């Protein structure tokens, strides 16, 4: 009943409020969410002050693309981890947002913290949206859960890959699951797993005019958003991302074919050549359609320039 009448909070949030003794029926505190209510009952839910965030805020510079009372859109640099985890307790996007947003965070789930509704890999740069309120978190979570199938959410990434697909455009539909051989990796599975669909388009090939291009600039649009999805899917069709040691290890020997300037630019990236270029979503409060574009970072531009203009080498030479 509470969740149906107050859409600013999630069912899980109301469940935690009930378990914490913050909900009463006819002035009697209840402790179970399954408590039955009757017509005429007087129900009171008290929202306690948000608890301090567990991660400490850190004054880390952020590129803010958009911000209001409900959401903030950040252009994340490569090398920044989104959420604190083992080995990354500080220096994360969450640490930076806690310091940047301060009291404008109303308390996601009762805690003064930003609401992370999607993530980018550490070495992936580009656009990420974060909720600042419970109401925004609920709406954005729903949009990402539906993976854009309801028309509210859109995401596209630019990637540099080895070789070039035979077709300029295509769709990769392959379920993903945690690898049984390496728990840090994701693998394609024929049985079970989670649905994953990536649409791709070849924007440019390098070197120009080659019968079998050495590398390509791709645009990948997500129909779903699974961990490492683009990296695994592109490797699945034989075109792993440049700089992706996890899923493109078999292409390390191809480094010798790159122009020297491209090898240096790729080495400076210290990770896969993947950039979250476009992001669109429905504002959780105004319901306006918001769209954002992130320009390529300098190291991405340098690598593309080197691939375009450098002196290529035959692999057998």
Q: What is the mean pLDDT of each run of 10 residues along the chain (317 residues)?
A: 78 81 86 89 81 75 97 96 79 93 73 84 96 91 83 94 95 94 90 94 82 90 93 97 93 87 91 97 96 97 91 57
What's the CATH number where 40 sits? 3.10.290.10
pLDDT for 74: 98
From residue 126, alpha-carbon distances to 112, 218, 219, 279 in Å are: 25, 15, 14, 9
pLDDT of residue 317: 38
pLDDT attached to residue 107: 61
| Domain shared by 175 and 131, yes or no | no
pLDDT confidence of residue 56 = 83
- CATH number of residue 199's parent domain: 3.30.2350.10
- Give the span between the Cα atoms of 296 and 292, in whole angstroms: 13
Query: For residues 140 and 116, what is the distance between their CA atoms, to the nearest angstrom?
Result: 9
CA distance 232 to 186: 7
Structural domain count, the chain: 3
C-alpha 94 chain-centroid distance? 13
Residue 219 in 3-state DSSP? strand
Residues belonging to the active site: 121
Tokens 């057998």 correspond to 316
Instruction: Enumerate residues 6+ apart whose C-beta is below 8 A from 73.
Output: 64, 65, 66, 67, 127, 128, 129, 130, 279, 290, 292
Domain termination residue (choose one: 82, 110, 145) = 145
Q: Specify whether 82 is located in the same domain as 61.
A: yes
Q: What is the pTM of this model?
A: 0.80
pLDDT at 49: 67
Q: Which domain holds residue 9?
A: 2-45
In 3D, which of 65, 60, 108 has the Cα closest to residue 80? 60
Do 199 and 290 lie in one domain? The reply is yes
Contact 219, 156 (CB under 8 A): yes
**Residue/partner pairs of 2-9 with CB below 8 Å, 24 or more apart:** 2/43, 2/45, 6/45, 7/135, 7/138, 8/133, 8/134, 8/135, 8/138, 9/134, 9/135, 9/138
List the one residue out of 137, 123, 37 whose CA is nearest residue 80.
123
Does one domain contain both 179 and 296?
Answer: yes
- Residue 24, pLDDT score: 87
For residue 160, give the nearest of 15, 309, 301 by alpha carbon. 301
């Amino acid at each position: 009943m509470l969740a149906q009448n107050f859409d600013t909070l999630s069912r899980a949030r109301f469940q935690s409020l009930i378990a914490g003794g913050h909900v009463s029926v006819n002035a009697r505190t209840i402790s179970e969410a399954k408590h039955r209510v009757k017509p005429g009952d007087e129900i009171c839910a008290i929202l306690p002050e948000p608890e301090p965030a567990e991660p400490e805020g850190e004054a880390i510079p952020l590129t803010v693309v958009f911000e209001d009372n409900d959401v903030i859109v950040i252009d994340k640099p490569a090398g920044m981890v989104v959420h604190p985890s083992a080995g990354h307790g500080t220096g994360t996007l969450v640490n930076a947002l806690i310091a940047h947003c301060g009291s404008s965070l109303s308390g996601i789930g009762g805690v003064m913290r930003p609401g992370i509704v999607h993530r980018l890999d550490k070495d992936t740069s580009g656009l990420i949206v974060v909720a600042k309120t419970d109401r925004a978190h609920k709406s954005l979570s729903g949009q990402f859960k539906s993976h854009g199938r309801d028309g509210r959410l859109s995401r596209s990434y630019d990637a540099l890959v080895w070789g070039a697909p035979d077709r300029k455009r295509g769709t990769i539909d392959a379920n993903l699951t945690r690898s049984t051989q390496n728990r840090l990796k994701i693998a394609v599975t024929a049985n079970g797993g989670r649905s994953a669909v990536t649409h791709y388009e070849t924007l440019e090939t390098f070197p120009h005019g080659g019968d079998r291009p050495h590398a390509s600039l791709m645009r990948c649009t997500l129909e779903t958003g699974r961990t490492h999805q683009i990296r695994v899917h592109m490797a699945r069709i034989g075109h792993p991302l440049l700089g992706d040691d996890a899923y493109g290890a078999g292409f390390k020997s191809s480094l010798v074919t790159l122009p020297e300037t491209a090898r240096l630019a790729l080495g400076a990236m210290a990770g896969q050549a993947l950039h979250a270029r476009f992001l669109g979503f429905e504002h959780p409060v105004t319901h306006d359609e918001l769209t954002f574009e992130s320009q390529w970072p300098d190291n991405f531009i340098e690598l593309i320039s080197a691939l375009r203009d450098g002196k290529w080498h035959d692999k057998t030479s």
